[in-house]
Amino acid sequence: MLHFQTFIGGIFDTNAYLVQAPGGNILFDAPTGASDWVQDLAVRPDLLLITHGHVDHIDDAAKIKRIFKCQVGFHPEGIPLITDPNFFKKLGFFLEPEPVQPDFFIEETPETEFCGIAFRVLLVPGHCPGSLCFYSADHDLLFGGDVLFAGSIGRTDLPGGDHELLLRGIHEKILTLPDNTMVLPGHGPRTTIGEERRNNPFLR
Ligand SMILES: [Zn+2]
Ligand SMILES: [Zn+2]
């Protein structure tokens, strides 16, 4: 069983997950306050994997990279959102996250490895361009970002959003995972693929 801890931070109650993997510690997403949280745990993240570039998931990313000298990875389509300090201001948001530069890019791939854990990386746009989900078949876990929630799906009214595209991605890439897969979403409680397949009203 994989050991992980959850943090909820920022004005949108965004989840971050810290995974103690055999080859190091992986932090998924960096909401406001994640940096202090990780410091309090006295666990050093070796890797920060960003599911997508929305401001609530990256607010502490630059700070975490600076403090822990960890490697930061995200999908290339996240570049404008994550590395341009004015991206959100131009859209009329008052938020101005500190930009962070990637150490590597993450592409969709059937199998790769992060800190000794095998992951399938799924590109599921529609909520946001370059939105990634990280699936561990060995541990029946999906770090899902803002793609699929307990009883809901990601909003598609933000720039680059596309409802049909999101639904297609969920049906083709997410609901095809085993029912017992635990989904760790970017907001709200955890759920399972089976539960959402049966009861999620957005997937009927
Ligand atoms: Zn989002
Ligand atoms: Zn979010």
Q: Quick one: average pLDDT of 69-91?
A: 90
The per-residue pLDDT for 141 is 98
How many angstroms does the Cα of residue 54 sit away from the middle of ligand 2? 6
How many angstroms does the Cα of residue 107 sit away from the middle of ligand 1? 18
Q: Please state, as a whole number, how many other Cβ atoms lie within 10 Å of the Cβ of residue 91.
A: 12
Give whole-number Cα distances, 158 to 54, 59, 125, in Å: 10, 18, 12
How many angstroms does the Cα of residue 67 sit away from the middle of ligand 2? 23
pLDDT band at 93 (very low <50, low <70, confident <90, very high): confident
On the question of pLDDT at 38 being above 90, the answer is yes
- Is there a contact between 162 and 156 (Cβ–Cβ < 8 Å)? yes
Looking at residue 179, its amino acid is D
The per-residue pLDDT for 86 is 82
Most confident region among 60-64, 97-101, 158-162 by mean pLDDT: 60-64
Both tokens of 117, joined, read 């854990």
Give whole-number Cα distances, 51 to 32, 43, 204, in Å: 15, 21, 25
How many angstroms does the Cα of residue 29 sit away from the middle of ligand 2? 10
How many angstroms does the Cα of residue 179 sit away from the middle of ligand 2? 24
- Scanning the chain, the segments in alpha helix (DSSP H) are 34-41, 55-58, 61-68, 79-83, 87-90, 163-169, 193-199
How many angstroms does the Cα of residue 187 sit away from the middle of ligand 2? 6
Q: Which residues surround ligand 2, an ion (CB under 5 A)?
A: 56, 146, 186
- Scanning 26-86, the segments in alpha helix (DSSP H) are 34-41, 55-58, 61-68, 79-83
How many angstroms does the Cα of residue 27 sit away from the middle of ligand 2? 15
How many angstroms does the Cα of residue 117 sit away from the middle of ligand 1? 25
Q: Is 0.75 topped by the overall pTM?
A: yes
Q: Considering every ligand atom shown, identify the ligand nearest to the alpha carbon of residue 132 and give its number.
A: 1
